[in-house]
């Protein structure tokens, strides 16, 4: 029997800011681009729960976040605090979180800066795995003064959905016998990979919950969604046999910038691109790498159209 855990830090960047700046305690915090009084560019990276109560969330254009904050302020609520983020500090805290997980569950796979899968099978049972995760959460709380949400399940897919089920500070256990009951009533959006566009597309066809979609054959789902339909057919049944990858396979270093005024002038763009490249190159060495495989350039226009170009070395 496999027992897999997935841990996801709650509002990670914003929680670190709240922890490190006592004057922000309890206030809405938004980490992301500079809103520049409603004229800024770029998006929200993380919002804490007080900011989410205003409707501010990750990936929202920063100007919309700013307007939501202003609307709240006009109702007498505190305005959101906008911060550009201290990435070095966040990656230090991330390393501390990952070290704590590894101490309790040595076979782990870091998924992102604040998420990891880990193998709980050696504990022998779901109750033992649950006890271990309670301890892990308590240590993160006591030693790092941050909260995490954890899911425990028979595979990575369900563990990830479970960690998201009861945020913040959640612990959701889905034993093999409970998989169908757990997944059935969830909105299709709970499936990793189903974004707002797919969700809307499916809703228009009367498909809201996982139970709704279970009624469709694999062929019917493929007809609706193409290749992704076959994957979704397995996912809504909780099927996932993917192994933990101990060594992070994809490691990337990136830098980005946002222009305050629209421009296509090479005299503006090229010096900026060169500066970003030299930062990335510096960090490559700082992090101990001697080679790289792929260089990717991404351009996002004012209307959020995004183009990428990748070159393998
Ligand atoms: Mg998180």
CA 250/CA 183 separation, integer angstroms: 29
Q: What is the pLDDT of residues 177-221, one digit of tens each?
A: 999 999 999 999 999 988 888 899 999 999 999 999 999 999 999
The yes-or-no answer on residue 92 being catalytic is no
Q: What is the pLDDT of residues 230-289, one digit of tens each?
A: 999 999 999 999 999 865 545 788 888 888 788 888 888 888 888 788 778 777 766 666
- DSSP structural state of residue 175: -
- Tell me which residue of 84, 92, 102, 104 sits closest to 144, measured CA to CA: 92
Place of tokens 């369900």: 158
Residue 70 has pLDDT above 60, yes or no: yes
Residue 312 has pLDDT above 70, yes or no: yes
**Beta strand 148-153 with 171-173: parallel, antiparallel or unpaired?**
parallel
- Going from the Cα of 266 to the center of ligand 1, the distance in angstroms, rounded, reads 38
Residue 109 has pLDDT above 80, yes or no: yes
**Beta strand 115-119 with 306-312: parallel, antiparallel or unpaired?**
unpaired
- What is the predicted pLDDT for the residue at 285? 66
CA 219/CA 226 separation, integer angstroms: 9
CA 218/CA 224 separation, integer angstroms: 10
- Going from the Cα of 6 to the center of ligand 1, the distance in angstroms, rounded, reads 11
Can you tell me whether residue 245 is helix, strand or coil? coil
Chain centroid, CA 126 distance in Å: 26
- Going from the Cα of 115 to the center of ligand 1, the distance in angstroms, rounded, reads 6
- Going from the Cα of 268 to the center of ligand 1, the distance in angstroms, rounded, reads 36
Q: How many CB atoms lie within 10 A of CB 78?
A: 13
Chain centroid, CA 154 distance in Å: 21
- Going from the Cα of 271 to the center of ligand 1, the distance in angstroms, rounded, reads 34
- What is the predicted pLDDT for the residue at 19? 96
- Going from the Cα of 157 to the center of ligand 1, the distance in angstroms, rounded, reads 16
CA 207, 208, 210, 211 torsion: positive or negative? negative
CA 204/CA 198 separation, integer angstroms: 10
- Going from the Cα of 163 to the center of ligand 1, the distance in angstroms, rounded, reads 10
Q: Give per-residue burial for 191-200: e unless 16+ CB within 10 Å, then b.
A: beebeeebbe
Q: What is the pLDDT of residues 80-92, one digit of tens each?
A: 999 998 888 999 9
Residue 32 has pLDDT above 60, yes or no: yes
- What is the predicted pLDDT for the residue at 183? 98
- Beta-carbon contacts of 194 under 8 Å, excluding residues fewer than 6 positions away, are 188, 202, 232
CA 22, 27, 28, 33 torsion: positive or negative? negative
Angle at 231 between CA 174 and CA 244, to 5 degrees: 55
Active-site hit among 92, 115, 255, 282: 115
Q: Give per-residue burial for 147-180: e unless 16+ CB within 10 Å, then b.
A: bbbbbbbbbbbbbbbbbbbeeeebbbbbbeeebe
- Going from the Cα of 149 to the center of ligand 1, the distance in angstroms, rounded, reads 8
- Beta-carbon contacts of 139 under 8 Å, excluding residues fewer than 6 positions away, are 100
- Going from the Cα of 243 to the center of ligand 1, the distance in angstroms, rounded, reads 22
CA 225/CA 207 separation, integer angstroms: 13
- Going from the Cα of 225 to the center of ligand 1, the distance in angstroms, rounded, reads 28
CA 137/CA 169 separation, integer angstroms: 8
Which residues lie at CB < 5 A from ion ligand 1?
8-9, 12, 114
């Amino acid at each position: 029997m496999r027992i897999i855990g997935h841990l996801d830090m709650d509002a990670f960047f914003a929680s670190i800011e709240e922890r490190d700046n006592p004057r922000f305690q309890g206030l809405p915090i938004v980490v992301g681009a500079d809103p520049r009084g409603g004229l800024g560019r770029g998006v929200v990276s993380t919002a804490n729960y007080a900011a989410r109560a205003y409707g501010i969330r990750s990936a929202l254009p920063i100007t919309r976040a700013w307007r939501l904050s202003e609307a709240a302020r006009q109702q007498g609520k505190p305005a959101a605090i906008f911060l550009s983020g201290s990435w070095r500090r966040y990656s230090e805290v991330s390393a501390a979180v990952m070290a704590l997980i590894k101490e309790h569950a040595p076979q782990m796979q870091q998924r992102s800066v604040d998420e990891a899968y880990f193998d709980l099978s050696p504990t022998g049972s779901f109750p033992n795995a649950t006890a271990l995760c309670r301890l892990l959460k308590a240590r993160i709380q006591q030693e790092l003064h941050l909260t995490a949400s954890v899911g425990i399940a028979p595979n990575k897919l369900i563990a990830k959905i479970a960690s998201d089920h009861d945020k913040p500070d959640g612990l959701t256990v889905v034993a093999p016998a409970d998989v169908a009951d757990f997944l059935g009533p969830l909105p299709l959006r709970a499936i990793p990979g189903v974004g707002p566009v797919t969700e809307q597309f499916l809703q228009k066809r009367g498909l809201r919950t996982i139970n709704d979609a279970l009624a469709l054959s694999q062929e019917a789902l493929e007809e609706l969604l193409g290749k992704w339909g076959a994957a979704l057919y397995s996912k809504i049944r909780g099927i996932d046999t993917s192994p933990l990858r101990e060594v992070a396979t994809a490691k990337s270093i990136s830098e980005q910038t946002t222009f305050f005024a629209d421009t296509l002038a090479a005299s503006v763009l090229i010096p900026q691109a060169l500066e970003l490249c030299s930062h990335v190159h510096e960090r490559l060495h700082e992090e101990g790498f001697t080679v790289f495989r792929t260089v990717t350039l991404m351009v996002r226009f004012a209307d959020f159209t995004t183009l990428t170009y990748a070159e393998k070395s």
